[in-house]
Structure 1
C-alpha cells in the first residue's frame, strides 16, 4: 500500500492537516516541524498524490510547452530556463512539437486543455491574433516566446532581433566589408524580417548601398536552407565578402557549400550566424554569431505564466518583454580580401 499523509501524521504525532501544510512549506508551520515531517516522509518513501491534490485545488501542476521542432538546438537552453523556473515553483511540464503546422498547434493546445494543463508556453511559432483568441477560448493562460506573427500577442517575450541584425552587420562593416549579403529564412516570419531590418539599418548608417541582389532567403532555417542560400549567392557575378545568416544552423550550411566551391572562410568570405547554439563554437572556423539570451527567454516566459496563474498579473493587460543579446565574435569573420572581391565561376 502507498504511504499516505495519515501514516506520516501518526508517526510524527501531529494532525494530517499539519503534515499537509508542512509538506507544502506553509509559513505557519515551525521550520523544525517542517524538517521533521519531511524527514519522516522521505524515510517512508512518501510520494504526493498529485491527482488528489489537483481535485482540491483545480490545478494539475503541469504546464504545456510547444516548440517548432524538438531537435532544434536553439530550444535546449530555452527549455532549461522554462524547466528550472517551473520546477522551483512546483510545476512540471510536458513538451510537444508543432512542426510549424498551425492546425497541429491548435490541436495540441486543445488536447493540453482537455488534460487540464494549467498554462501553455508556445516557442517561436507563427501565432496570429486570430489563433491567440482561439487559444484563449480554451481558458488556458498562454505566453508566447519570439512569436513570428506580425501582430504582438498580449503576453509575449521577444528578443530584439533588429538590434541583433544590426550588430552582426555593423561588425562586418567595422572590419572593412562593403558588399555584405543577408541570408534570411523564408519561413522565419517576423524574426527574419526584423533581422533584415537591422541589416539594412547598419548599411544605411554606414552610407553603404543596399543591393537587393545580395538579399536572398533559404527555404527554411536548417543547414539545407543555408546551403541553398549559399548556392544562390554563388550564382551572382561577384560573391559578397560577408554573409549575415538568419541563424547558426544556416550559417553552417553556408560554410559547407562555400568550402565545396573553394571559397575560404574568412579569407575570401566572412560568415556570421545568429543564436550562439553550442555547436557554433566547434565548427571550423568557429562561428561569429549573436548570442541570444536563450535561458533568460525561457525563464522570463515561465515567470510571466506563473504570474498569470497566481493572479499577480492582470490577464487582460498586455505584458510584452523584450530582451537583448550580444555579439559573439569568433574566427569566421575577418577583414575582406585585399582585392575586395571573389569572382565566381559562371
Structure 2
C-alpha cells in the first residue's frame, strides 16, 4: 500500500503537508496551488488509498462493525456463506473490520451485548434467523448511541422489529412467483410444501389473482426445509388419489426430496409433475433434475446492509430496504438450463 511518506519523499515535501492536502485540512497553512496539484497528481499516479482505519480512529471511531449472526439455511443451501460473503466484501471495500459473534437464543444475544460491545464497534448488524424477542434490546442499543441494523430471514409485516432499520428479502414473493409461473404454464392443480407462512401466503395470492381455486388438501404443512420434508409431502399427496400438476416447495432441499420421491414412484419431472424450489443454491443446479428456483438475494442484501449501517454511523437518515427475489428457470418446470451465467449475479 502506498504511504503518505512515499508521496512526500518523491515530491521532496513534508509528510504533514501531504497529509493536510489529501485530507482537506490545510487550514491556515500556506501552500501554492501548484504544490497542492502536484501532491494530488502524485497520489493518483501511485494509486494512493487512504488508510480507512486511521481515518476512523482520527474521527473517534473504532474501524469495526459488529455482526451478530444466527446461522440459517439447510446443509448445501449456502445461505449463510452468501450472506457472510456479502457483508465481508463490502466491509473489505472500505477497510472496516468485522467483529463476528454467533448466537442461537435471545439469551445468548443478550450475553453478547456486554460492556465491550460499544468499546469495540461503531455499529451493529444482527442477522440470520429471525428473533421476534430481540426488538426491545435492539432499541435499547440504539438509544444508547449504537447504530443498529437487522438483516433477518423473514420479518412479518407490521412487526415491532420494523422500528429498527432493516434490510430484508420479501419471502412472500418466494411463494408468489413460482406459483404464478406454474399457473401461467396452464396448470391448475398445484400443491404447496408449507413451512413459512409468508411463502404460503404468496402461493395463495397467485391463485387469487389468477382466479384459480386452491385444493386445501394439497397444502402440506412441514416443520423443516430438508429433503425428508419434501419426501413426506409427496407421501401425503399420493394418499389423495390424484397427484398435482406442480409442487411449489419452500427450499431447494425440499424440492430435491420431492423429485427423488416422485421418481421412486415412477413419476417424471417435469413431464408428469413440475417442481420449484427456493434459494437458487448448488442443490438446485446439481439436482438429478435441475430445479427452477427463487434467488435468495443474501449476498446482495449483505452488501446493502453494510452501506446503510455506515450511513447511519455517519449520522445520515436511512430507510429500510426490501429486496424482491427473482425466478431462475431450469428443467424441473420445462425451462432450459442456464449455462455460462455468473452465479454471483443471481445471489
Instruction: Find the partner of 1:245 among 246, 249, 268.
Output: 249
Distance 1:9 1:104 in 2: 50
TM-score by length of 1: 0.75
Using structure 2 for the length normalisation, give the TM-score.
0.74
Contact 1:275 1:292 in 2 (8 A): yes
Aligned length: 316
Q: CA deviation at 1:179?
A: 1.8
Shift of the 140–171 alpha-carbon distance from structure 1 to 2, 3 Å rule, reads same
Partners of 1:64 and 1:112 within 8 A in 2: no
Computed over aligned residues only, the root mean square deviation of the Cα atoms, in angstroms, reads 3.7
Distance 1:13 1:115, change over 3 A: same
Aligned to 1:277: 281
- Aligned-pair CA distance for 1:57: 3.5
Partner of 1:298: 302
Aligned counterpart, 2:23: 26
Deviation at residue 284 of structure 1 after TM alignment: 1.9
Contact 1:292 1:325 (C-alpha < 8 Å) held by counterparts: yes
Separation in 1, partners of 2:110, 2:128: 15
Is 1:60–1:117's contact at 8 Å kept on the other side of the alignment?
yes
User: What residue number does 2:332 align with?
Assistant: 332
| Structure 2 portions without partners, runs of 5+ | 27-35, 336-347
1:308-327 to 2 correspondences below 5 Å: 308-313=312-317, 319-327=319-327
Question: Are the equivalent residues in 1 in contact too, given 2:79–2:296 (CA < 8 A)?
Answer: no
Q: Helix, strand or coil for the counterpart of 1:177? A: coil
Question: In the aligned structure 1, how far is the partner of 2:137 from the partner of 2:221?
Answer: 26
Query: Structure 1: which 5+ residue stretches go unaligned?
Result: 43-47, 186-191, 336-346
Tell me the equivalent position of 2:59: 57
Structure-2 separation of matches of 1:321 and 1:7:
42
Deviation at 1:56, TM superposition (A): 4.6
Deviations 1:26-83 (A, max 9, x none): 256847536868999x9xxxxx795x87665332211122333276512333333323
**Could you tell me whether the CA contact under 8 Å between 2:52 and 2:96 is conserved in 1?**
no
* Structure-1 separation of matches of 2:140 and 2:220: 34
1:164 corresponds to: 174
Counterparts of 1:236 and 1:32, CA distance in 2:
80
> Alignment partner of 1:295: what SS?
helix
User: What is the alpha-carbon distance in structure 2 between the residues aligned to residue 146 and residue 156 of structure 1?
Assistant: 8
Q: In the TM superposition, what are the counterparts of 1:1-346 in structure 2 within 5 Å?
A: 14-18=13-17, 26-27=23-24, 30=36, 32-33=38-39, 56-69=58-71, 73-99=78-104, 101-110=105-114, 113=117, 116-128=120-132, 129-136=135-142, 139-146=145-152, 148-150=154-156, 151=159, 152-185=162-195, 192-313=196-317, 319-334=319-334
